[in-house]
C-alpha cells in the first residue's frame, strides 16, 4: 500500500469512527459496555493515545531508529488518564493524535515497512475495530 492509499484508508476509517462516536447519545458516552469495562469515551481516548504514540514511533523511525519501543504506559494507566479528561478534551486529543500520525507518515520520502505497519495497524485498523464496537453498543 502506498502513502496515498494509507492516508485514504485512514481518512475513511476516521470518518466511520467519528460517525459512530457522533451517534452515541451524550448520556451514554461514559456508560461502560462498549467492550467489557470500557465506554465510548474510553475508546475515543484509547484511539487518541495510540494515534499519538504512532506519530512518535514514526518520527523515531524517520530519525533512524529502525524498530523503536512504543514507550506506552500500561493500559490501566492509559484508561485512567482518559477518564480524567472531559469529552471535549478526549475528542480534541483524538484529532491531534490523528493529525500527528498523518504528518509523521507524510514526512517520509520512502516509507519503511515498519512505519507503514505501525501507521495502518494503529490508525485505520484500530479505528475500524472500535467503530464497529461503538456501533454495536449504540444499536
Tell whether 92 is covered by a domain: yes
Does pLDDT of 67 surpass 80?
A: no
Tell whether 34 is covered by a domain: no
Look at 26-40, 57-71, 87-101 and tell me which has the smallest mean pLDDT. Answer: 57-71
Tell whether 24 is covered by a domain: no
CATH of residue 125? 1.20.120.450
Cα–chain center distance at 115 = 15
Position 74 scores a pLDDT of: 85
The dihedrals phi and psi of 38, each to the nearest 5 degrees, come to -125, 145
pLDDT digits (tens, 9 = 90+) for 69-85: 777 778 889 999 999 99
Tell whether 27 is covered by a domain: no
Give me the domain span that covers residue 114.
Answer: 3-19+39-138
Can you give the pTM of this predicted structure?
Answer: 0.93
pLDDT digits (tens, 9 = 90+) for 1-39: 899 999 999 999 999 999 999 999 999 999 999 999 999
Tell whether 25 is covered by a domain: no
Q: Quote the number of domains for the chain.
A: 1
Amino acid at each position: 500500500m502506498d502513502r496515498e492509499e494509507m492516508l485514504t484508508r485512514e481518512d475513511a476509517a476516521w470518518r466511520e469512527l467519528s460517525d459512530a462516536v457522533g451517534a452515541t447519545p451524550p448520556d451514554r458516552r461514559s456508560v461502560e459496555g462498549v467492550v467489557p469495562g470500557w465506554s465510548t469515551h474510553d475508546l475515543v481516548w484509547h484511539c487518541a493515545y495510540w494515534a499519538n504514540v504512532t506519530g512518535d514511533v514514526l518520527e523515531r523511525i524517520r530519525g533512524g531508529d529502525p524498530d523503536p519501543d512504543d514507550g506506552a504506559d500500561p493500559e490501566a494507566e492509559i484508561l485512567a488518564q482518559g477518564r480524567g479528561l472531559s469529552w471535549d478534551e478526549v475528542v480534541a486529543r483524538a484529532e491531534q493524535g490523528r493529525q500527528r500520525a498523518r504528518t509523521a507518515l507524510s514526512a517520509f520520502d520512502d516509507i519503511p515497512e515498519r512505519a507503514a505497519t505501525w501507521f495502518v495497524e494503529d490508525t485505520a485498523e484500530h479505528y475500524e475495530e472500535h467503530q464497529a464496537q461503538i456501533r454495536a453498543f449504540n444499536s
